[in-house]
Amino acid sequence: MLIGREKEQQRLLQLATKEDSQFCAVYGRRRVGKTYLIRESFNYTFDFYYTGVANVSKSVQLAEFRDSLQAAWKRKVNKPKNWFEAFKVLGEYLSDLNVNRKKIIFIDELSWLDTPRSNFVSALEHFWNGWATARAEKDIVLIVCASSASWITKKIFKNKGGLHNRVTEKIYLSPFSLLECRLFSEAAGLNMTLKDIAETYMILGGVPYYWSLLKRGRSASQNIDDLFFSEDAVLANEFKELYTSLYKNPKPYMNIVKTLGKKKVGMTRSEIAKSLKITSSGTLTEHLEDLQQSGFIRMYKSIQKKERDSIYQLIDQFTLFYFQYMENSSGTVWVQEAMTPKYKSWSGLAFERLCLWHIPQIKKALGISGISCNVGSWIYIPTSDEKESGSSGTQIDLLIDRSDNVITICEMKFYDTDYNITSKDEEALRKKRAIFMERTQTKKAVHIAIVTTFGISGTKHINTVQQVITLKDLAE
Protein backbone atom coordinates (compact mmCIF):
# COMPACT_ATOMS: atom_id res chain seq x y z
CA MET A 1 0.00 0.00 0.00
CA LEU A 2 1.91 3.02 -1.29
CA ILE A 3 0.56 6.26 0.21
CA GLY A 4 1.55 9.54 -1.43
CA ARG A 5 5.00 9.64 -3.07
CA GLU A 6 3.44 10.25 -6.51
CA LYS A 7 6.12 12.72 -7.62
CA GLU A 8 8.96 10.55 -6.36
CA GLN A 9 7.51 7.44 -8.00
CA GLN A 10 7.10 9.28 -11.31
CA ARG A 11 10.74 10.39 -11.20
CA LEU A 12 11.86 6.82 -10.58
CA LEU A 13 9.83 5.40 -13.45
CA GLN A 14 11.05 8.11 -15.82
CA LEU A 15 14.62 6.83 -15.36
CA ALA A 16 13.85 3.95 -17.71
CA THR A 17 12.65 6.32 -20.44
CA LYS A 18 15.69 8.58 -20.63
CA GLU A 19 18.23 8.29 -23.42
CA ASP A 20 21.42 7.93 -21.39
CA SER A 21 22.29 5.53 -18.59
CA GLN A 22 21.04 6.83 -15.23
CA PHE A 23 22.57 6.86 -11.77
CA CYS A 24 19.90 7.63 -9.15
CA ALA A 25 20.41 8.04 -5.40
CA VAL A 26 17.40 7.94 -3.10
CA TYR A 27 18.08 9.34 0.36
CA GLY A 28 16.31 10.51 3.49
CA ARG A 29 15.76 9.73 7.14
CA ARG A 30 15.97 6.10 8.29
CA ARG A 31 12.60 4.25 8.35
CA VAL A 32 11.08 6.74 5.92
CA GLY A 33 10.29 4.13 3.26
CA LYS A 34 13.05 4.50 0.66
CA THR A 35 13.36 0.78 -0.06
CA TYR A 36 9.60 0.29 -0.07
CA LEU A 37 9.12 3.11 -2.58
CA ILE A 38 11.71 1.70 -4.99
CA ARG A 39 10.38 -1.86 -4.73
CA GLU A 40 6.77 -0.79 -5.21
CA SER A 41 7.62 1.51 -8.13
CA PHE A 42 9.27 -1.33 -10.06
CA ASN A 43 6.81 -4.00 -8.90
CA TYR A 44 9.59 -5.80 -7.02
CA THR A 45 11.21 -6.71 -10.34
CA PHE A 46 14.87 -5.81 -10.96
CA ASP A 47 17.48 -7.17 -13.31
CA PHE A 48 19.83 -7.20 -10.33
CA TYR A 49 19.06 -6.49 -6.70
CA TYR A 50 21.36 -6.61 -3.71
CA THR A 51 21.01 -5.25 -0.19
CA GLY A 52 24.00 -4.77 2.08
CA VAL A 53 24.27 -6.56 5.40
CA ALA A 54 24.89 -4.61 8.59
CA ASN A 55 28.00 -5.16 10.70
CA VAL A 56 29.66 -7.91 8.68
CA SER A 57 33.06 -8.18 7.01
CA LYS A 58 33.90 -7.46 3.39
CA SER A 59 34.25 -11.20 2.83
CA VAL A 60 30.67 -11.84 3.96
CA GLN A 61 29.35 -8.95 1.85
CA LEU A 62 31.12 -10.31 -1.24
CA ALA A 63 29.72 -13.79 -0.62
CA GLU A 64 26.20 -12.41 -0.36
CA PHE A 65 26.74 -10.30 -3.49
CA ARG A 66 27.85 -13.47 -5.31
CA ASP A 67 24.70 -15.27 -4.17
CA SER A 68 22.54 -12.46 -5.56
CA LEU A 69 24.41 -12.65 -8.87
CA GLN A 70 23.88 -16.41 -9.04
CA ALA A 71 20.17 -16.03 -8.39
CA ALA A 72 19.81 -13.42 -11.13
CA TRP A 73 22.10 -15.08 -13.71
CA LYS A 74 20.93 -18.64 -13.03
CA ARG A 75 24.50 -19.90 -13.19
CA LYS A 76 27.36 -20.61 -10.80
CA VAL A 77 29.52 -17.59 -9.90
CA ASN A 78 32.80 -17.76 -8.02
CA LYS A 79 33.10 -15.58 -4.94
CA PRO A 80 34.83 -12.30 -5.97
CA LYS A 81 38.12 -11.48 -4.26
CA ASN A 82 37.30 -7.77 -4.01
CA TRP A 83 34.69 -5.22 -5.07
CA PHE A 84 36.44 -4.44 -8.36
CA GLU A 85 36.07 -8.08 -9.33
CA ALA A 86 32.48 -8.15 -8.03
CA PHE A 87 31.44 -5.25 -10.24
CA LYS A 88 33.33 -6.76 -13.19
CA VAL A 89 31.22 -9.92 -12.88
CA LEU A 90 28.08 -7.79 -12.52
CA GLY A 91 28.98 -6.10 -15.82
CA GLU A 92 29.45 -9.50 -17.48
CA TYR A 93 26.03 -10.64 -16.29
CA LEU A 94 24.34 -7.45 -17.51
CA SER A 95 26.08 -7.74 -20.90
CA ASP A 96 24.75 -11.27 -21.18
CA LEU A 97 21.22 -10.10 -20.37
CA ASN A 98 19.34 -9.92 -23.66
CA VAL A 99 16.48 -7.46 -23.14
CA ASN A 100 15.33 -4.61 -25.34
CA ARG A 101 14.96 -2.02 -22.57
CA LYS A 102 16.85 -0.36 -19.76
CA LYS A 103 18.45 -2.80 -17.28
CA ILE A 104 17.40 -1.90 -13.72
CA ILE A 105 19.94 -2.42 -10.91
CA PHE A 106 19.02 -1.67 -7.30
CA ILE A 107 21.69 -1.75 -4.60
CA ASP A 108 20.22 -1.09 -1.16
CA GLU A 109 21.96 -0.20 2.12
CA LEU A 110 24.98 1.02 0.17
CA SER A 111 26.77 2.42 3.23
CA TRP A 112 26.96 -1.05 4.82
CA LEU A 113 29.09 -2.25 1.89
CA ASP A 114 31.66 0.46 2.58
CA THR A 115 33.55 -1.48 5.25
CA PRO A 116 37.06 -0.37 6.33
CA ARG A 117 39.72 -0.78 3.61
CA SER A 118 37.19 -2.36 1.26
CA ASN A 119 37.67 0.19 -1.56
CA PHE A 120 33.97 -0.18 -2.26
CA VAL A 121 33.39 3.41 -3.39
CA SER A 122 36.41 3.28 -5.71
CA ALA A 123 35.09 0.07 -7.25
CA LEU A 124 31.65 1.63 -7.71
CA GLU A 125 33.29 4.61 -9.44
CA HIS A 126 35.16 2.27 -11.79
CA PHE A 127 32.01 0.29 -12.57
CA TRP A 128 30.02 3.39 -13.44
CA ASN A 129 32.70 5.30 -15.35
CA GLY A 130 34.61 2.40 -16.86
CA TRP A 131 31.72 0.16 -17.83
CA ALA A 132 28.13 1.44 -17.33
CA THR A 133 28.57 4.76 -19.13
CA ALA A 134 31.39 3.67 -21.44
CA ARG A 135 29.13 1.48 -23.56
CA ALA A 136 27.23 2.57 -26.66
CA GLU A 137 24.07 0.86 -25.43
CA LYS A 138 23.38 3.45 -22.69
CA ASP A 139 20.95 0.95 -21.16
CA ILE A 140 21.80 0.98 -17.44
CA VAL A 141 19.69 2.38 -14.61
CA LEU A 142 21.54 2.15 -11.30
CA ILE A 143 19.48 3.01 -8.21
CA VAL A 144 21.17 3.18 -4.82
CA CYS A 145 20.07 4.16 -1.34
CA ALA A 146 21.39 3.93 2.20
CA SER A 147 20.05 4.22 5.73
CA SER A 148 22.54 7.01 6.36
CA ALA A 149 21.71 10.20 4.46
CA SER A 150 25.01 11.67 5.63
CA TRP A 151 26.96 8.78 4.07
CA ILE A 152 25.21 9.27 0.71
CA THR A 153 25.94 13.00 0.88
CA LYS A 154 29.63 12.63 1.74
CA LYS A 155 30.59 9.59 -0.32
CA ILE A 156 28.34 10.02 -3.38
CA PHE A 157 27.06 13.60 -3.76
CA LYS A 158 30.24 15.33 -2.53
CA ASN A 159 32.63 12.76 -3.94
CA LYS A 160 35.79 14.48 -5.16
CA GLY A 161 36.95 11.53 -7.23
CA GLY A 162 35.43 9.54 -10.04
CA LEU A 163 31.84 9.93 -8.83
CA HIS A 164 32.00 13.72 -8.82
CA ASN A 165 28.81 14.98 -10.51
CA ARG A 166 27.99 11.48 -11.79
CA VAL A 167 24.62 11.12 -10.05
CA THR A 168 21.98 12.00 -12.63
CA GLU A 169 18.95 11.96 -10.28
CA LYS A 170 18.73 12.75 -6.56
CA ILE A 171 15.46 11.89 -4.86
CA TYR A 172 15.04 13.09 -1.28
CA LEU A 173 12.29 11.19 0.51
CA SER A 174 10.84 13.30 3.29
CA PRO A 175 8.71 11.99 6.17
CA PHE A 176 4.97 11.83 5.66
CA SER A 177 2.99 15.04 6.07
CA LEU A 178 -0.09 15.18 8.28
CA LEU A 179 -2.20 14.70 5.14
CA GLU A 180 -0.30 11.55 4.17
CA CYS A 181 -0.65 10.20 7.71
CA ARG A 182 -4.39 10.85 7.50
CA LEU A 183 -4.54 8.99 4.19
CA PHE A 184 -2.51 6.14 5.68
CA SER A 185 -4.83 5.98 8.69
CA GLU A 186 -7.87 5.79 6.43
CA ALA A 187 -6.33 3.14 4.17
CA ALA A 188 -5.31 1.04 7.18
CA GLY A 189 -8.76 1.31 8.76
CA LEU A 190 -7.42 2.85 11.96
CA ASN A 191 -10.51 5.06 12.38
CA MET A 192 -8.66 8.02 13.93
CA THR A 193 -9.91 11.57 14.38
CA LEU A 194 -7.78 14.41 13.03
CA LYS A 195 -6.73 15.25 16.59
CA ASP A 196 -5.76 11.58 17.15
CA ILE A 197 -3.66 11.74 13.98
CA ALA A 198 -2.02 14.99 15.06
CA GLU A 199 -1.19 13.67 18.53
CA THR A 200 0.22 10.47 17.04
CA TYR A 201 2.26 12.58 14.62
CA MET A 202 3.58 14.55 17.59
CA ILE A 203 5.05 11.27 18.87
CA LEU A 204 5.95 9.28 15.75
CA GLY A 205 6.56 12.14 13.33
CA GLY A 206 5.85 11.27 9.72
CA VAL A 207 7.91 8.08 9.73
CA PRO A 208 5.94 5.48 7.71
CA TYR A 209 7.51 2.48 9.45
CA TYR A 210 6.28 3.68 12.84
CA TRP A 211 2.79 4.29 11.47
CA SER A 212 2.72 0.81 9.97
CA LEU A 213 2.95 -0.59 13.51
CA LEU A 214 -0.39 0.94 14.58
CA LYS A 215 -3.16 -1.63 14.95
CA ARG A 216 -6.81 -1.51 14.01
CA GLY A 217 -9.29 -1.72 16.85
CA ARG A 218 -7.00 0.12 19.26
CA SER A 219 -7.42 3.75 20.28
CA ALA A 220 -4.59 6.18 19.53
CA SER A 221 -3.56 6.11 23.21
CA GLN A 222 -3.67 2.30 23.36
CA ASN A 223 -1.45 2.09 20.28
CA ILE A 224 1.12 4.41 21.88
CA ASP A 225 1.10 2.29 25.04
CA ASP A 226 1.57 -0.83 22.92
CA LEU A 227 4.49 0.63 20.95
CA PHE A 228 6.43 2.26 23.78
CA PHE A 229 5.35 1.20 27.25
CA SER A 230 4.01 -2.37 27.14
CA GLU A 231 6.08 -5.36 28.25
CA ASP A 232 6.98 -6.28 24.67
CA ALA A 233 6.94 -2.74 23.22
CA VAL A 234 8.30 -2.78 19.65
CA LEU A 235 9.86 0.69 19.88
CA ALA A 236 11.15 0.51 23.44
CA ASN A 237 14.79 0.39 22.23
CA GLU A 238 14.32 2.32 19.00
CA PHE A 239 16.26 5.42 20.09
CA LYS A 240 19.56 3.59 20.61
CA GLU A 241 19.04 1.36 17.58
CA LEU A 242 18.22 4.35 15.38
CA TYR A 243 21.37 6.32 16.14
CA THR A 244 23.60 3.25 16.29
CA SER A 245 22.47 2.16 12.83
CA LEU A 246 23.25 5.57 11.34
CA TYR A 247 26.57 6.47 12.93
CA LYS A 248 29.63 4.33 13.63
CA ASN A 249 30.24 6.36 16.79
CA PRO A 250 26.71 7.37 17.86
CA LYS A 251 27.48 8.82 21.30
CA PRO A 252 28.48 12.36 20.13
CA TYR A 253 25.30 12.58 18.04
CA MET A 254 23.12 11.39 20.90
CA ASN A 255 24.78 13.93 23.20
CA ILE A 256 24.07 16.76 20.76
CA VAL A 257 20.37 15.94 20.34
CA LYS A 258 20.00 15.49 24.10
CA THR A 259 21.53 18.92 24.65
CA LEU A 260 19.31 20.52 22.01
CA GLY A 261 16.27 18.82 23.53
CA LYS A 262 16.71 20.96 26.65
CA LYS A 263 16.17 24.27 24.86
CA LYS A 264 13.14 24.46 22.61
CA VAL A 265 14.19 27.55 20.65
CA GLY A 266 17.54 25.91 19.87
CA MET A 267 21.18 26.78 20.45
CA THR A 268 24.07 28.34 18.57
CA ARG A 269 27.09 26.27 17.68
CA SER A 270 29.13 27.89 20.46
CA GLU A 271 26.36 27.26 22.99
CA ILE A 272 26.27 23.57 22.02
CA ALA A 273 30.05 23.31 22.41
CA LYS A 274 29.95 25.05 25.79
CA SER A 275 27.13 22.86 27.07
CA LEU A 276 28.92 19.68 25.96
CA LYS A 277 32.28 20.98 27.20
CA ILE A 278 33.92 20.37 23.83
CA THR A 279 35.76 22.58 21.37
CA SER A 280 33.86 24.23 18.53
CA SER A 281 35.83 22.28 15.94
CA GLY A 282 35.37 20.78 12.49
CA THR A 283 34.22 17.57 14.14
CA LEU A 284 31.29 19.38 15.72
CA THR A 285 30.47 20.89 12.33
CA GLU A 286 30.48 17.42 10.77
CA HIS A 287 28.20 16.03 13.46
CA LEU A 288 25.73 18.90 13.10
CA GLU A 289 25.66 18.51 9.31
CA ASP A 290 25.09 14.76 9.66
CA LEU A 291 22.15 15.34 12.01
CA GLN A 292 20.68 17.91 9.62
CA GLN A 293 20.95 15.55 6.66
CA SER A 294 19.23 12.81 8.66
CA GLY A 295 16.34 15.15 9.51
CA PHE A 296 16.89 15.22 13.27
CA ILE A 297 17.75 18.90 13.58
CA ARG A 298 17.33 22.05 11.53
CA MET A 299 19.48 25.17 11.26
CA TYR A 300 17.97 28.62 10.89
CA LYS A 301 19.08 32.22 11.17
CA SER A 302 17.07 34.61 13.32
CA ILE A 303 16.01 37.94 11.89
CA GLN A 304 18.80 40.55 11.91
CA LYS A 305 21.34 37.95 13.03
CA LYS A 306 24.60 37.02 11.33
CA GLU A 307 25.48 33.60 9.87
CA ARG A 308 27.68 32.73 12.85
CA ASP A 309 24.65 33.20 15.09
CA SER A 310 22.66 30.50 13.29
CA ILE A 311 20.51 28.38 15.58
CA TYR A 312 20.37 24.57 15.63
CA GLN A 313 17.07 23.15 16.79
CA LEU A 314 15.90 19.60 17.49
CA ILE A 315 12.84 18.87 15.32
CA ASP A 316 12.60 15.07 15.27
CA GLN A 317 9.34 14.19 17.00
CA PHE A 318 10.38 10.71 18.08
CA THR A 319 13.63 11.96 19.67
CA LEU A 320 11.77 14.67 21.58
CA PHE A 321 9.25 12.11 22.83
CA TYR A 322 12.05 9.78 23.89
CA PHE A 323 13.75 12.39 26.08
CA GLN A 324 10.47 13.48 27.64
CA TYR A 325 8.88 10.10 28.31
CA MET A 326 11.17 7.15 27.65
CA GLU A 327 14.72 7.95 28.76
CA ASN A 328 13.82 7.58 32.42
CA SER A 329 10.32 6.14 32.09
CA SER A 330 8.80 4.35 35.02
CA GLY A 331 5.37 2.83 34.63
CA THR A 332 4.05 5.37 32.10
CA VAL A 333 0.50 4.69 30.96
CA TRP A 334 -0.26 6.92 28.00
CA VAL A 335 -4.02 6.61 28.37
CA GLN A 336 -3.69 8.39 31.74
CA GLU A 337 -0.99 10.86 30.72
CA ALA A 338 -3.22 13.49 29.06
CA MET A 339 -4.41 14.71 32.47
CA THR A 340 -0.92 15.56 33.76
CA PRO A 341 1.03 18.88 33.70
CA LYS A 342 3.92 17.01 32.06
CA TYR A 343 1.67 16.17 29.11
CA LYS A 344 0.62 19.79 28.72
CA SER A 345 4.24 20.91 28.61
CA TRP A 346 5.26 18.19 26.14
CA SER A 347 2.22 18.56 23.88
CA GLY A 348 2.78 22.29 23.49
CA LEU A 349 6.37 21.75 22.37
CA ALA A 350 5.51 18.76 20.20
CA PHE A 351 2.74 20.70 18.45
CA GLU A 352 5.21 23.48 17.69
CA ARG A 353 7.49 20.93 16.03
CA LEU A 354 4.54 19.55 14.06
CA CYS A 355 3.97 23.07 12.77
CA LEU A 356 7.63 23.41 11.78
CA TRP A 357 7.24 20.29 9.63
CA HIS A 358 4.27 21.93 7.90
CA ILE A 359 5.54 25.37 6.91
CA PRO A 360 4.28 24.93 3.29
CA GLN A 361 0.78 24.23 4.61
CA ILE A 362 0.95 27.24 6.94
CA LYS A 363 2.08 29.45 4.05
CA LYS A 364 -0.78 28.14 1.93
CA ALA A 365 -3.30 28.90 4.68
CA LEU A 366 -1.83 32.41 4.95
CA GLY A 367 -2.20 32.83 1.19
CA ILE A 368 1.54 33.30 0.63
CA SER A 369 2.57 30.03 -1.04
CA GLY A 370 4.25 31.85 -3.91
CA ILE A 371 6.02 34.43 -1.74
CA SER A 372 9.65 34.08 -0.70
CA CYS A 373 10.02 33.79 3.09
CA ASN A 374 12.62 33.26 5.78
CA VAL A 375 11.35 31.08 8.61
CA GLY A 376 12.82 31.01 12.09
CA SER A 377 12.40 31.96 15.73
CA TRP A 378 13.26 35.11 17.64
CA ILE A 379 14.12 35.76 21.25
CA TYR A 380 14.87 38.90 23.23
CA ILE A 381 16.54 38.67 26.65
CA PRO A 382 16.91 42.05 28.38
CA THR A 383 20.10 42.95 30.20
CA SER A 384 20.09 43.57 33.95
CA ASP A 385 19.95 47.33 33.36
CA GLU A 386 17.07 46.93 30.90
CA LYS A 387 15.17 44.83 33.42
CA GLU A 388 15.62 47.51 36.05
CA SER A 389 14.20 50.09 33.67
CA GLY A 390 11.11 47.94 33.12
CA SER A 391 12.01 46.04 29.93
CA SER A 392 10.80 42.47 29.67
CA GLY A 393 11.89 39.69 27.36
CA THR A 394 9.89 37.69 24.87
CA GLN A 395 10.18 34.66 22.63
CA ILE A 396 8.64 33.95 19.23
CA ASP A 397 8.81 30.27 18.30
CA LEU A 398 7.70 30.64 14.68
CA LEU A 399 8.25 33.81 12.70
CA ILE A 400 7.77 34.15 8.95
CA ASP A 401 9.67 37.06 7.42
CA ARG A 402 7.97 37.61 4.08
CA SER A 403 9.14 39.37 0.92
CA ASP A 404 5.74 41.10 0.60
CA ASN A 405 6.67 43.56 3.35
CA VAL A 406 4.97 41.61 6.14
CA ILE A 407 6.30 39.63 9.09
CA THR A 408 3.91 37.03 10.52
CA ILE A 409 4.25 36.00 14.16
CA CYS A 410 2.74 32.53 14.56
CA GLU A 411 1.43 31.56 17.98
CA MET A 412 0.97 27.78 18.23
CA LYS A 413 -1.57 26.42 20.70
CA PHE A 414 -2.55 22.76 21.15
CA TYR A 415 -5.99 22.42 22.77
CA ASP A 416 -8.67 19.75 23.08
CA THR A 417 -11.28 22.36 22.19
CA ASP A 418 -11.41 25.77 20.52
CA TYR A 419 -8.80 28.17 21.85
CA ASN A 420 -10.50 30.92 23.84
CA ILE A 421 -8.42 34.10 23.68
CA THR A 422 -8.85 35.93 26.98
CA SER A 423 -8.13 39.60 27.64
CA LYS A 424 -4.88 38.50 29.25
CA ASP A 425 -3.91 36.46 26.17
CA GLU A 426 -4.67 39.37 23.86
CA GLU A 427 -2.55 41.72 25.95
CA ALA A 428 0.35 39.25 25.87
CA LEU A 429 0.11 39.03 22.07
CA ARG A 430 0.11 42.80 21.70
CA LYS A 431 3.07 43.10 24.03
CA LYS A 432 5.01 40.45 22.15
CA ARG A 433 4.43 42.25 18.85
CA ALA A 434 5.37 45.61 20.38
CA ILE A 435 8.64 44.30 21.83
CA PHE A 436 9.53 42.67 18.51
CA MET A 437 8.86 45.86 16.54
CA GLU A 438 10.76 48.00 19.01
CA ARG A 439 13.83 45.79 19.24
CA THR A 440 14.12 44.96 15.54
CA GLN A 441 13.07 48.40 14.30
CA THR A 442 11.40 46.63 11.41
CA LYS A 443 9.71 48.74 8.76
CA LYS A 444 7.45 45.87 7.77
CA ALA A 445 3.88 45.32 8.92
CA VAL A 446 3.72 42.73 11.71
CA HIS A 447 0.76 40.33 11.69
CA ILE A 448 -0.21 37.72 14.25
CA ALA A 449 -1.55 34.31 13.22
CA ILE A 450 -2.84 31.65 15.59
CA VAL A 451 -2.10 28.02 14.68
CA THR A 452 -4.28 25.81 16.83
CA THR A 453 -6.15 22.52 16.90
CA PHE A 454 -9.72 23.51 16.06
CA GLY A 455 -9.90 27.31 15.92
CA ILE A 456 -10.80 30.24 18.14
CA SER A 457 -13.96 30.61 20.16
CA GLY A 458 -15.64 33.95 20.74
CA THR A 459 -14.89 37.29 19.09
CA LYS A 460 -14.42 39.68 21.98
CA HIS A 461 -10.65 39.58 22.11
CA ILE A 462 -9.51 38.56 18.62
CA ASN A 463 -8.97 41.96 17.00
CA THR A 464 -5.23 41.50 17.50
CA VAL A 465 -5.17 38.30 15.42
CA GLN A 466 -5.09 38.61 11.64
CA GLN A 467 -5.48 34.92 10.72
CA VAL A 468 -6.34 31.57 12.30
CA ILE A 469 -4.92 28.25 11.04
CA THR A 470 -6.26 24.88 12.21
CA LEU A 471 -5.35 21.21 11.97
CA LYS A 472 -7.65 20.97 8.99
CA ASP A 473 -5.44 23.50 7.17
CA LEU A 474 -2.28 21.62 8.14
CA ALA A 475 -3.72 18.33 6.86
CA GLU A 476 -4.41 19.64 3.34
Distance CA 139, CA 18 (A): 9
* pTM listed for this prediction: 0.91
pLDDT at 474: 97
DSSP string, 14-50: HGGGSSS-EEEEEE-STTSSHHHHHHHHTTT--SEEE
The SS3 assignment for 162 reads coil
Q: What is the pLDDT of residues 99-155, one digit of tens each?
A: 999 999 999 999 999 999 999 999 999 999 999 999 999 999 999 999 888 899 999
- Which candidate, 349, 324, 333, places its Cα nearest to that of 219? 333
pLDDT at 147: 82
pLDDT at 363: 97
DSSP string, 421-472: --HHHHHHHHHHHHHHHHHH---SEEEEEEEESS-EE-STT-TT--EEE-HH
pLDDT at 117: 92
Residues of the chain with pLDDT under 70: 304-308, 330, 388-390, 459-462
Element at 108 (helix H, strand E)? strand 103-108
pLDDT at 15: 97
**Core vs surface per residue 364-395: b (16+ CB within 10 A) or e:** bbbebeeeebebbbbebebeeeeeeeeeeebe
pLDDT at 460: 66
pLDDT at 423: 85
